[in-house]
Amino acid sequence: MTEILALLQNIAPLFEKTTFKRMGRIVYAMLASSGRITMLGLSRWSEKGGSYRTIQRFYHTQLPWAALQWKYFQSYFLKPGDEYIAACDESVVSKAGRQTFGLDRFFAGLQQRVIPGLSFFVFSLVNVHEEHSYPMQVMQTVKSAEEKAASKAKVEAKKNRNAKEKKKPGRPKGSKNKDKKVVVLNPELVRIQKSLRIFLDTIKGKINLIYLAMDGHFGNYPSAYMVRQVGLHLISKLRSDAALYETCFVKEHKKRGPKPKYGAKLDMCKIDPKYLKETLIEDRVRTDIYQGQFFNKEFVFALNVVIIVKTNLDTASIAHVILFSTDLDLAYDKMIKFYSLRFQLEFNFRDAKQYWGLEDFMNVKETAVTNAANLSFFMVNFSYALLKPFQKYDQEFSILDLKSHYRGLRYATEIIKMLPKKPDAILLAEIFQHIARLGAIHPALLPVSSK
């Protein structure tokens, strides 16, 4: 328990004294718990002073989670000399019932279908050198009435389009050109941009952030426009069937009319060798990496595009991926690495759901739901700091070993209380060390506190 309180001391000024004590007990209970992380489950594993009512009071207390995460990150993880990028993604949690705040229907990527549940949009800082993601800000997605109406209208329009006959080819009569430079952000992008501004304000220039990595859902001009408005460059993925055009028009130009903006359309199966940057062959699969500046008609400006083409040398089948960035000077190898690092956020989602209660909490009020979700992601960072001393002795020591360790300490503490006489310090340390190793996957000799 002492090492837990020691790791929490740096964020203690952001809590009231009573709330900080409750936080310490809840963190210890989460580490020792073997079941679902609910308020009732935590009350069963916490020590004296961690009753159900005490835990309930903590969950219904408003806390400055963005400041807490940033303060903790600064204290234990920030390395000023390292390079960082920002990443963001959505995590959907399934929920039953009708009373939970923010309950709606969201698309779950793992299940590949729309499910009833809660959605949380998470911003994280990714250390490029360590290749590790630290969740910094959690925003619950609560759909407005306007957003729900727009989504419903979109579904209805799609149904009607499929039911009606095909439209006549060509442009509808009377339509006019639209100024693409003027972008009206949809409610989703407005919500994300607002949260992104809060995220950047929290950092306050301590890290020189340049890039924000987002998944292919945001591989469009409105998203790029939204990111550029806050001073960052977007790294994302275009659809595989996206049409790309060279930036130079090389054909003979007629004397009348303006010079065409778009050059030749890019053929993904026959890309000009002048764009080739690297070729690799592994397991009879050839990977060709191309980079260049290209236009897409949905975007007002040119894009820095990286195309990864994989060819099976045995079957001659070809597949490709199109990455892009709004930074025209970004090298192809960095763009590939930065986009791949976005996936580190998925490991944060996995840990929050599997170990720290993001899938388990049963709170229904807004404040309690916010605290439950943010506490799960705080534990992702906290457990990473807690693992460091153990991994000096065994690099394979994992979160499962950590939970097994603290569960063993919890059992040992209760056993010692039942003894008529407390053993001497050496025997006591051996008892704690032996019991703490029970059930561990990597039961290495570890430094164990007897408190």
Average pLDDT in the 382-392 region? Answer: 89
Give a yes or no: residue 228 inside a domain: no
Between 303 and 395, the higher pLDDT residue = 303
Give a yes or no: residue 289 inside a domain: yes
Inter-residue contact 245 to 294 (CB < 8 Å): yes
- Nearest alpha carbon to residue 25 among 9, 6, 4, 41: 4
Statement to judge: residues 403 and 414 lie in one domain: yes
Between 293 and 422, the higher pLDDT residue = 293
Q: Mean pLDDT over all residues of the chain?
A: 87
Statement to judge: residues 381 and 364 lie in one domain: yes
Statement to judge: residues 209 and 310 lie in one domain: no
DSSP annotation of 264: P
Please tell me the predicted confidence (pLDDT) of residue 250. Answer: 55
Average pLDDT in the 219-231 region? Answer: 94
Statement to judge: residues 399 and 382 lie in one domain: no
Statement to judge: residues 310 and 197 lie in one domain: no
Give a yes or no: residue 372 inside a domain: yes
Statement to judge: residues 78 and 207 lie in one domain: yes
Please tell me the predicted confidence (pLDDT) of residue 448. Answer: 47
Q: Which two tokens stand for residue 303?
A: 């894009």
Statement to judge: residues 29 and 100 lie in one domain: yes
Inter-residue contact 130 to 101 (CB < 8 Å): no
Look up tokens 């506490």; give the residue: 375
Average pLDDT in the 337-360 region? Answer: 94
Q: For residue 407, what pLDDT band results from cuts at 50, 70 and 90?
A: confident
Statement to judge: residues 206 and 268 lie in one domain: no
Give a yes or no: residue 141 inside a domain: yes
Give a yes or no: residue 172 inside a domain: no
Question: How many domains does the chain divide into?
Answer: 3
Q: For residue 168, what pLDDT band results from cuts at 50, 70 and 90?
A: confident
Whether the per-residue pLDDT at 39 is higher than 90: the answer is: yes
Angstrom distance (rounded) from CA 337 to CA 345: 14
Strands 84-94 and 104-108: unpaired
- Nearest alpha carbon to residue 340 among 246, 413, 236: 236
Statement to judge: residues 386 and 447 lie in one domain: no
Give a yes or no: residue 409 inside a domain: yes
Strands 84-94 and 211-213: parallel
Please tell me the predicted confidence (pLDDT) of residue 442. Answer: 66
- Nearest alpha carbon to residue 141 among 183, 178, 107: 107
Give a yes or no: residue 98 inside a domain: yes
Inter-residue contact 244 to 251 (CB < 8 Å): no
Which tens digits make up the pLDDT trace of 195-214? 999 999 998 878 989 999 99
Please tell me the predicted confidence (pLDDT) of residue 257. Answer: 65
Q: Any residues with CB less than 8 A from the CB of 205 and at least 6 apart, and which?
A: none
pTM: 0.87
What's the angle, vertex CA 334, arms to CA 328 and CA 335, rounded to 5?
Answer: 60
Statement to judge: residues 28 and 51 lie in one domain: yes
- Nearest alpha carbon to residue 305 among 320, 286, 290, 287: 290
Domain boundary among 329, 359, 379: 329
Q: Count of residues for the chain?
A: 451
| pLDDT > 90 fraction of the chain, expressed in percent and rounded | 57
Statement to judge: residues 419 and 352 lie in one domain: no
Q: For residue 152, what pLDDT band results from cuts at 50, 70 and 90?
A: confident
Please tell me the predicted confidence (pLDDT) of residue 37. Answer: 92
218 φ/ψ angles, rounded to the nearest 5 degrees: -105, 20
Q: For residue 450, what pLDDT band results from cuts at 50, 70 and 90?
A: very low
Which tens digits make up the pLDDT trace of 40-59? 999 998 888 889 999 999 99
Statement to judge: residues 191 and 266 lie in one domain: no
Give a yes or no: residue 106 inside a domain: yes
Reported as half-sphere exposure (CB side, CA atoms, 13 A), residue 94 has a value of 8
Angstrom distance (rounded) from CA 138 to CA 121: 6
Residue span of the structural domain in which 40 resides? 2-146+185-214+343-391
